[in-house]
Structure 1
Amino acid sequence: MYTEFIKNVFLKKWVLTILTLLCLVSFSFLGYHLLRSNLYVLNNQRNLQTLVKKQVYVGNDQTSDAQIKKSFAGKSATKADAHARQVLNYLDQNYHYALRWSFDGNLANGRDVSIDTVNANFFTFYLISVASGRTFNARDYTSSSSEIPVLIGAKLAKSHPLGSKFSIVNTSSGKKEWYKVVGVMAANASVPSVYLLDNQTYLNNSIIRPFRKADRKNLTATQLMSAMQDLIVYDTSQAQLTKLTQKFNQGSFFKIRFISAKKNMADFYTNYKGTAIMFALISLIILAIATGIIIWNTWSCLKEEQSEIALRISLGLLPKNMLIAAIIYQVLISLVAVIPVTVYAVTYTKTLAQTAVGISSQIVLSGLLPKAEATSLVSIFALMLVITVFAVILVTSRFSKQSLAFRMGEE
């Protein structure tokens, strides 16, 4: 009964139905991205509170392309490496700091991974969840053993389980290293950035190794440059920070600036709020247009088919049946409208979760749809469903309350 009623009444105006679908699909995409972005911002803001409370300063790499070409070619590269080790020694002697550098590599099975080197203080500010095994201890950073303990991402646990050993070329140094898995990170373990609160680097395809004494002795300028962005310096004064900046920038090998985490986050919000408000307004306008078309379409279809409806009522159709049919029709429209963004979210994130590393892993996800993505989809669908169904209920209820016989008599 409902299928026939929907087909003969609500699907009479295909153009309006298609317009409704297009508007709702557009709203779904915009709303999904906006809500997901805001969820990331809220989550990352919470995760970065340690940096704010400790008055942390974060490195901002401002080295120009011209400097890189000049400093890392021929004999200049040797001088740059020597300068990098001097800067590291200066850091060790005068500052508390946390660093991480990341380079892409390949496992023996051909899988792309990122190889991240971190010092002990890194885990003070970035709480990496471990699903099994352990994190690094003090001995891991001082050991000179050829076997290096590592943490691996959730996507690598199947081929490299806890306790397994393997070798890989560490692309940051160009040397082959032997690793032992001491911990497997939880799915979607991540590293947020004070510069991009609406995103984060996932570690599902990452290998984390400790920054050891041997690494300090052989530090290269390339490694230090990779660590400069997001290099954390804390428990220091502005005067000491100025000295560190000058030390980095000596010889024109590097150019770095240190900005407080609090200011970085404030600058992000300054730029983000305007964009977020603009997208929110566009989304709401599109939803309003879609709702207007739904109201117009529903009323027009009911009015044009009032003779058909009167006949059905005489044959036993109840007003509540007409209302249920309208609700079913709108629920189906909303379900169809949310399919494209669902397919996009699942396909895109699943593909990246299997393959992307390094910078690309800022949007790598594990599982079908992690919490932020699933919450965004469900919330957008629920909002769209509630508003559109409420609209058809109002229109259909108003139509039902009027006397069909009277309206037909006027005709």
Structure 2
Amino acid sequence: MNQLKYAWNDFKNNKKMMVLFICVVIVMFLFFTGSIQNVLEYKNDIDKLSILDKKGVYYAVDDTDMEDVDRIIEDEETVEKEISFFNSLEERNIPYYTEFEYAIGDVDGVTDVKEAYANKLFFEFYGFDVYRGRGFEKGDFSIVDGQKPIVVGYELGKVFKLNEVYEFETSEGEVFEGKIIGVLKKNSFFCRANDISVVNNVDKTYFIPINENYKDNKFGISDIDMSLTHMVVFTDDIRTLQNDHDIINSFNIKFYNARDRIEELNKTQRNKLLIIIGVIVIVISLMLVCLWFTFNKIIEEHMKEYGIHLMYGASYKNILIRFVWLVVGVELTSLVITFIVYKNMIILGYTVLLAIVLGILVLIYPYNRLKRLSIINILRNN
């Protein structure tokens, strides 16, 4: 306890420098914890899309020129052409998934609600876990008339009651009845193949199944365009598929290799990680220099005191413990604030490891300096 009292006196005597040190450590811990969180979230996204990282997986991008948009919209056969294209995929057993959504706004106090349409393979691919009720089944994707099954995100589960029927409105303004069959678990999410750096949380989304026969969906041109531009196709003959769509002379859809996109984003993430590591190393280096300077100042000011302690039986270890208490106090304060901000024990575990390494590095200087102390030299110089 005496060493703790001495450490507290050291802190008060060097208050400005120690407060500055605490602020720097807090900023570094927050930056490090936030970076770890981003890295882990990105890894989770990549893991979910690992099935795309192989040959024969392509995502669609709309490259339609603005001057062609009016022509396509005015063409009364555009919707029929695209429906035929989707149906041809089913007929040739070419697997694909698609999902698109519209912003709905506020629903009974829940803000930023989205209405999403998705086909069967989308749900099989992402495998959302259901909190209550059930997920979509095969028969849900062939209903033409009558009530549509609806699966809602976790937050909307507080608004829509399970097994109750509600009125919904399509993007074309058509009202239909939907029965709530399931509620997804909290923080369910997915990421699109052409933008896997963005996490799409579905807590405030309700899903409507896309009928396997595209004509039965009664989609308008906007829905068709969204279906195309959010589509992922699994095929070994993308050239034929590309030609089939080019022939219909509609939206200029291009198919790109998903593996190339994932590798590109992985490379970007690796570069970001290197930058983060570089920033952390620089901050730690500057902090170590400042703290070693502070500890050197403390040692010089208390040299005579250390000599007296050593003369009366204290060990170098006893004196070093004073510095250990200083470091522990600073790091514990910083860790508590970091936890208050992020509230995630798993991610905080990485920050605790950083704190341990940082503490060891910080104590290297006072350990080496104290180890070289000589009682005779101390008394002679003081």
Q: Same fold (TM over 0.5)?
A: yes
Question: What letter matches 1:192 in structure 2?
Answer: C
Decide whether the 8 Å contact of 1:71 with 1:80 is kept in 2. no
Residue 151 of structure 1 is matched in structure 2 by: 151
Q: What are the superposed Cα offsets for residues 152-209 of structure 1, whole Å, 9 maximum, x if unpaired? A: 2122223334333333334x33333332222221222211333444442122222122
Aligned pair count reads: 377
* Contact kept in structure 1, 2:87 and 2:214, CA below 8 Å: no
Distance 1:343 1:294 in 2: 25
Equivalent of residue 406 in structure 1, options 364, 372, 377? 377
Identity %: 16
Aligned to 1:241: 241
Instruction: Show the counterpart of 2:18.
Output: 17
On the 8 A contact 2:96/2:231 being kept in 1, the answer is yes
Q: Which residue of 2 aligns with 1:386?
A: 356
After superposition, residues 177-188 of structure 1 pair within 5 angstroms as 177-188=176-187
TM-superposed CA distance for 1:327, in Å, is: 2.5
Closer, same or farther: CA 139–317 of 1 in aligned 2, 3 Å: same
Q: Which moved more, 1:274-283 or 1:76-85?
A: 76-85
The answer to whether the 8 A contact 1:154-1:184 is kept is yes
* 1:104 CA displacement: 1.8
Amino acid at match of 2:143: S
Tell me: CA distance 1:245–1:33, structure 2 relative to 1, closer, same or farther (3 Å).
Answer: farther
Q: Does structure 1 retain, via aligned residues, the 8 Å contact 2:100–2:230? A: no
Contact 2:242 2:254 in 1 (8 A): no
Cα distance in 2 for residues equivalent to 1:58 and 1:88: 15
1:343 shift after superposition: 4.9
**How far did 1:100 drift?**
0.7
Superposed, 1:6-405 pairs within 5 Å as 6-53=7-54, 55-63=56-64, 70=70, 76=74, 80-94=78-92, 95-106=94-105, 108-112=107-111, 113-170=113-170, 172-212=171-211, 216-247=216-247, 250-251=249-250, 254-310=251-307, 319-338=316-335, 342-345=339-342, 369=344, 374-383=345-354, 385-401=355-371, 402-404=373-375
Distance 1:133 1:122, change over 3 A: same
Give the drift of 1:119. 0.8
Contact 2:3 2:322 in 1 (8 A): yes
Deviation of 1:390 after TM superposition, in Å, equals 0.9
Offset at residue 289 of structure 1 (A)? 1.8
Q: Structure 2: 5+ residue runs without aligned partners?
A: none
Unaligned runs of 5+ in 1: 347-368
Larger Rg: 2
Q: Give 3-state SS (helix, strand or coil) of 1:157's partner.
A: helix
Q: How many Å apart are 1:265 and its aligned residue?
A: 0.9
CA shift, 1:215, in A, is 6.8
CA contact (8 A) 1:291 1:387 kept: no
Change (3 A) 1:91 1:221: farther
Residues in 2 aligned to 1:131 and 1:76: alpha-carbon distance in whole angstroms: 44
